[in-house]
Structure 1
Amino acid sequence: MNTVVGRADAPLPDRCVHEWFAGRASGTPDVTALEFGGRRLTYAELDSRANQLAHLLRARGVGPDAPVAVCAQRSPEVVTALLAVLKAGGHYLPLDPEYPAERLAFMVADSGARVLLVEPELAGRFAATGLERVAIEPDWSAAAGLPTTAPASGAVPDDLAYVMYTSGSTGRPKGVGVTHRNVLRLVHEADYADLDPGQVVLMLAPLSFDLSTFEVWGALCNGARLAVLPQGVPTAASIEEAVRRHAVSVALLSTGLFQHVVRTRPGALATVRQVLVAGDVAPPAEVRMLVERGVEVVNGYGPTECTTFCAARRGVTLAETRGSIPIGRAITRTTLYVVAEDGVTRVPAGESGELLVGGPGVARGYHGRPALTAERFVPDPYGTVPGARLYRTGDLVTEGADGLLLFHGRRDQQVKINGHRIELGEVEAALGNHPEVRAAVAAVRPTPAGDKQLVGYVVSDTLDRPGRPLREYLRELLPEYLVPTAWVRLPALPLNPNGKVDRAALPTPGDDPAKAPVTAPRTPVEQAVVEVWSELLSVAAIGVHDDFFELGGHSLLATEVTALLGERFPVELPVSAVFDARTPALLAERLRAAITERVEQLSDAEVESMLSQVIEG
């Protein structure tokens, strides 16, 4: 089977990403390149600022293939920083500010980065790394007075543009090296999305998420406008406001965020011409809601190792939302093969096999991991290009009679939750290092609300309720998305006749015999919190000491908790309050404190009376 779409052999410009951008800036200097709130930068302004910073980086020793760490939230300055790194000839290493210090330190050391572009308030997290720090700031004072013309970067298309770390099955994150050529394959003359000077593309993904590659370079390499979402966790309300304010025409959302936005604010994306969904299996019900409103929905598919997308179903139909939505066909300059278990024999249409990806979108490999690179990036036995390689995705698909691919699952333990790739082995390895854990397994289970949650199953002689201590332990080692939200203590892990863990026999989190009895709400405020949680989580019996995340909550639902409580009470809690105060009892205390601070002139009795009136009303 050989699935090729569009111009698989179409020539790709032999240029770097920053060179392609510079051409746009030269041709349309006065066109707006990006917007952020009320601020605007033209292509010429962005180009000159990035050039100044690039000269500064060159003076710091940055050149071809040199890594530069970047730690910041969404802003015009961080876009300037990424462009400047490429103009200096280097490649960027995106660091998520929310990652634990130990993981950030590993990524810095593993990448070999020596220079760090960082927001001043985050600089303290890297004090012990020995990195040379350059502050990310609106006026770029450190680069003031440097030339506004581009330095000679020395970079070529096969040099790295960025290294992005993903979860690793052995417990060690792996850095995927993506070249300039890889990025241009994604965004140049794209046949799966509308990317042209008339479009406004929304930027909302974290830099450490490869969806940002499409957002930033898809816009800036095509003369479009990049609308940068305000900093913080994206919410349905903030996305709706950004879409309205900037007249967004193209938006890419991870599957979990897409589902959340459409469920909670069905009209938020109604004016967007094209909505791309990626990162996990597309949810038919929510896709159907948008298609019925006349919005073009694109179901995008692709691992980080293939530079964001390698296949897409453009223009999902209503008929396709009645079942599994296809992941589509190969995008331009991409070749897809479906092969049998031997990794070579191609299977006919209708039969399941592993998907292999070829073409200039296939990444260089895993940084510093030659054995793993050789295992997953294999020689192409079908093509005619000398030295060409295929990436083994590990995904199982079938080709339908219409030539569209359908996704069926994985051939290993990799899973996706809210768009994040999770290697269960990495979670299990971290748990296995805890001194009070004799054995551990991680698995994905559905929540009562129909979402997916990561569950930790542990065998321990001393941890009666393992959730809180193990969660805090893992949060020092792993990103939040790799920390199980529900926990079950077992006397022993269930084994099959071969002595391997029988994952099908693992109980659901609600069957945990160590779970404490439910404590009913004791105050009107606790009652309100419990009611909001019950509505969002589809859990009937919630006690005031139950943990929001162990009940199936996640960051997207946390934003709705604060929104719904804001409708009941005259205060606005930050989303971080749900992470810090994870039980109804603790969150009720935060609510009372916030209201008391606002109405300090009232007595406690008056405050309680006011809250009762609000609840009853």
Structure 2
Amino acid sequence: MDRDWTAISGMPDMNPCLAGGSENLCYVIYTSGSTGKPKGVMIEHRSLINFVFCLQNEFRLSVNERMLQSSASSFDISIFELWWPLSAGASLVLMPLNDLQLPSRLFSCALEYQVSVMMIVPSLLSVLLNEGSFSNLHSLRLFFSAGEALDPQLARRFRKQSQAELINAYGPTETTVASAFWLCPSDNECSVVPIGRPLANTRLYVLDPHLQPVPVGVPGELYIGGEGLARGYWRRPEQTSERFLQDTFMPESMNARMYRTGDRVKYMEDGNLLFLGRFDNQIKLRGFRIELGEIEAILLEQPNIRQAVMALREDNPGDQRLVAYVVADREKFDIAALRRAMRTLLPEYMVPAAFVLLQALPLLPNGKVDRTTLPRPMYGNREKAFRAPSTPLEEIIADIWLEVLHLDNAGIDDNFFDAGGHSLLAVQLINRINREFDLVMTIRNLFETPTIEGLALTVLGLFAAENPE
């Protein structure tokens, strides 16, 4: 601005004579794309206003209540956390970015500020419930689960610890955060967790491949219409036309549209919708929507890779990890270099936890990849010679490391993320270390020193800082 001040100072100093309208663009949030390029979802003011008003009409947030911000601004849960409390005259409790994924800090902040409303993804909720602290959070009135499918067992665990209302929220980014809610009744055993019923001014259709409604109990694809629909994808007219279709169930004069979600659902007898999975190659992992094809496209751009397939595996209950299966042009292929390259090209939550080098991909008779026979990966492949823990401190950290990663052995030079670690497991590791040594270590410490030896030195440094001579 200093450089251009001469030109700027000659401009009018009055507010521009522009009137903002409900159809003006409000924000753009990027989601994963199958072509390897993220898509910018354009949300207009009218859609956000409808969403916020629906929340307030349904759940009545008072001026004395407080919402905890637990999501980064790149995740659309942050829209829920920011605009609902502020529009209702309530308060928003902001957490430092480095503390957002630390259960101990999240709970201490919620307790300190007597938070009454929270929205968290199920994978993080599972970690929080292991803390056993929800029973102490008496101020909590509403707990929203969103971003992933809520497992019935997880819902039951929450109900045992908290008297707060449990709400399962569903909705793609393209329909403004959430399109449906299900309130778990207090006397419900949560044998199934539906995605519920639509918000006001929202239409949910379950259709067959010919875009005709299916009967109750019959699976179909979910299409969403109404005020929450995005304008489309930023500078992606072809993809916009593919996903946003004419709503043929509304009068043609209304020029209404509906969004094709790709989600497989069915209507239950009580009128609630039940989520059954995806039709395409898209997944939800720790609250993030990921197109496996996007990662595959980037893998195929790397030197000497002939074929690549991504898979989401759950080899240990509750621990989902991305695994890359690659076929290379030569026998000696540098997996470590590939891993480093992917870390520079992808956000952390999309980097595969393991890379498996295959001679050929297993195929079905129709020529498609047989994903059911892809081998279980070996986590923790080392780039350096094995060095065992040699001090009591390293041994304690190694024991925690092995439990969190479900491994049989660990060297002090092993990299946590190369051994299959991801952000959620990082939260568990740091939380366990903090409890063991009564420290306040952060996720950043792990990213800076992702080895047992490095973490041991960090612990010693924190001890020295807290106990100066």
Normalising by structure 1, we get a TM-score of: 0.68
For residue 315 of structure 1, what is the aligned residue in structure 2? 184
CA drift at 1:253: 0.9
1:397–1:406: 8 Å Cα contact kept in structure 2?
Answer: yes
Aligned position for 2:245? 378
Within the candidate set 207, 215, 233, 2:81 is matched to 215
Provide the residue aligned with 1:302 in structure 2.
Answer: 171
Pick from 305, 312, 325 the counterpart of residue 457 of structure 1: 325
Equivalent in 265, 273, 276 of residue 144 of structure 2: 276
Unaligned runs of at least 5 residues, structure 2: 1-7
1:363, distance to aligned residue in structure 2 (A): 0.6
1:333 offset after TM fit, Å?
1.1
Q: CA deviation at 1:347?
A: 0.3
- Counterpart residue number, 2:5: none
SS in 1 for 2:115: coil
- The answer (yes or no) to whether the contact 1:449–1:536 under 8 Å persists in 2 is no
Alignment partners' CA distance in 1, 2:382 and 2:421: 20
Amino acid at match of 2:175: C
Structure 1 position 463, deviation (Å): 5.4
**In terms of mean alpha carbon deviation, does 556-565 or 216-225 score higher?**
556-565
Match of 2:96 among 224, 230, 234: 230
Q: Which residue of 1 aligns with 2:19?
A: 154
Report the residue type matching 2:40 in the other structure.
G
In structure 2, what is the equivalent of residue 253 of structure 1? 120
Residue of structure 2 in register with 1:561 after alignment: 429
- 1:340 has 2:205 as partner: no
* Mapping for residues 284-299 of structure 1, pairs under 5 Å: 284-292=152-160, 293-299=162-168
Residues in 2 aligned to 1:412 and 1:455: alpha-carbon distance in whole angstroms: 18
Q: Match for residue 262 of structure 1?
A: 129
Q: In structure 2, how many angstroms separate the alpha carbons of the residues matched to 1:175 and 1:203? A: 23
CA–CA distance in structure 1, aligned partners of residues 371 and 156 of structure 2:
33
Distance in 2 between residues matched to 1:164 and 1:544, nearest whole Å: 40
- Measured in 1, the distance between the counterparts of 2:59 and 2:155 equals 17
Whether the 8 Å contact between 1:448 and 1:539 is mirrored in structure 2 is no
Aligned to 1:509, the other structure's residue is in SS state coil
Structure 2 equivalent of residue 201 of structure 1 = 67
Letter of the aligned partner of 2:288 in structure 1? H
The 1-side partners of 2:380 and 2:461 are apart by: 34
The CA distance in 2 between the partners of 1:341 and 1:288, in whole Å, is 35
Check the 8 A contact 1:157/1:181 in 2, yes or no: yes
CA distance in 2, matches of 1:363, 1:560: 36
C-alpha separation between the residues in 1 aligned to 2:182 and 2:434? 39
**Secondary structure of the structure 2 residue equivalent to 1:319:** coil
The one-letter amino acid of 2:123's match is G
- Tell me the CA shift for residue 589 of structure 1: 4.3
Q: How many Å separate the matches in 2 of 1:555 and 1:318?
A: 35
Higher alpha-carbon deviation: 231-240 or 312-321? 312-321
In the alignment, which residue of structure 2 is the partner of 1:481?
349
Which one of the candidate residues 389, 408, 420 is aligned to 2:257? 389
2:275 to 398, 407, 415: 407
1:166 and 1:538 mapped to 2: Cα distance? 31
Seen in structure 2, the aligned counterparts of structure 1 residues 275 and 194 have a Cα distance that, compared at 3 Å, is farther
Return closer, same or farther for 1:253/1:337 CA change in 2, 3 Å cut-off.
same
Cα shift at 1:269: 4.7
Tell me how far 1:470 sits from its aligned partner.
Answer: 2.1
Residue pair 1:526, 1:585 contacting (<8 A) in 2 also: yes
**Gap runs ≥5 in structure 1:** 1-58, 61-145, 602-617
Q: Deviations over 1:354-402 (max 9, x none)?
A: 0000100011000111111010000000013611100000000011111
Change (3 A) 1:295 1:372: same
Q: Which amino acid in the other structure matches residue 210 of structure 1?
A: D
- Of stretches 235-244 and 420-429 in structure 1, the one that deviates more from structure 2 is 235-244
Instruction: Please list the CA deviations of residues 547-569 of structure 1 after superposition, one character each: whole Å capped at 9, or x if unmatched.
Output: 42344432233233223323444
Change beyond 3 A, Cα 1:352–1:528: same
Q: Which moved more, 1:435-444 or 1:332-341?
A: 435-444
The change in CA–CA distance for 1:592 and 1:157 in structure 2 (over 3 A counts) is: same
Residue 207 of structure 1 deviates from its aligned partner by 0.9
State the secondary structure of the residue aligned to 2:59. coil
CA shift for structure 1 position 273: 0.4
Q: Secondary structure at the match of 1:158?
A: coil
TM-score (norm 2): 0.88
Mapping of 1:478-517 within 5 angstroms?
478-510=346-378
Q: Does 1:349 align with 2:216?
A: yes
For residues 204-258 of structure 1, the C-alpha deviation after alignment (integer angstroms, 9 at most, x for no partner) is 2111111111111111222222222233241212221222222211111122222
Indicate the larger mover: 187-196 or 420-429: 187-196
| Alignment match, 2:340 | 472
Residue 328 of structure 1 is matched in structure 2 by 196
Q: CA deviation at 1:437?
A: 2.2
SS in 2 for 1:321: coil
Paired amino acid for 1:154: A
1:441 paired residue among 290, 298, 309 = 309
How many Å separate the matches in 1 of 2:441 and 2:61?
38
**1:580-595 alignment to 2 at 5 Å?**
580-592=448-460
Amino acid at match of 1:485: A
Query: CA separation in 2, counterparts of 1:270 and 1:540?
Result: 40
1:183 aligned to 2:52?
no
Contact 2:413 2:452 in 1 (8 A): yes
What is the Cα deviation at residue 477 of structure 1? 1.6
Q: Is this contact kept in 2: 1:351–1:398, CA < 8 A?
A: yes
Q: Distance between the aligned counterparts of 2:208 and 2:385, measured in 1? A: 50
Q: Displacement, 1:475? A: 2.0
Question: In the alignment, is the contact (CA less than 8 A) between 1:436 and 1:462 conserved in 2?
Answer: no
Alignment partner of 1:346: what SS? coil
Say whether residues 1:368 and 2:235 are aligned partners.
yes
Tell whether the 8 Å contact from 1:488 to 1:512 is kept in structure 2 after alignment. no
Query: Alignment identity in percent?
Result: 38
1:298 CA displacement: 0.3
* TM superposition shift of 1:294: 1.5
Q: CA–CA distance in 1 between the matches of 2:463 and 2:87?
A: 48
Deviation readout 1:277-322 (Å, 9 max, x if unpaired): 0000113333223323311010000000000000110235563523
**3-state SS, counterpart of residue 92 of structure 2:** strand
CA deviation map 1:475-507 (0-9, x unaligned): 222111111112212112222222222211211
Shift of 1:423: 0.4
Counterparts in 2 of 1:158 and 1:302: CA distance versus 1, 3 Å = same
Q: Which range moves more in the overlay, 589-598 or 558-567?
A: 589-598
The answer on whether the counterparts of 1:464 and 1:514 sit within 8 Å (CA) in structure 2 is no
Deviations 1:386-439 (A, max 9, x none): 111000000000111111111111000000111000000111111111113222
Q: Secondary structure at the match of 1:169?
A: coil
Q: 1:554 to 1:511 in 2, by over 3 A?
A: closer
Aligned to 1:64: none
**Contact 1:305–1:363 under 8 Å retained in 2:** yes
In structure 1, the partner of 2:4 is none
Structure 1: distance between partners of 2:321 and 2:137 = 26
Name the amino acid aligned to 2:93: A
Aligned to 1:164: 29
Q: Deviations over 1:83-106 (max 9, x none)?
A: xxxxxxxxxxxxxxxxxxxxxxxx
CA contact (8 A) 1:378 1:392 kept: yes
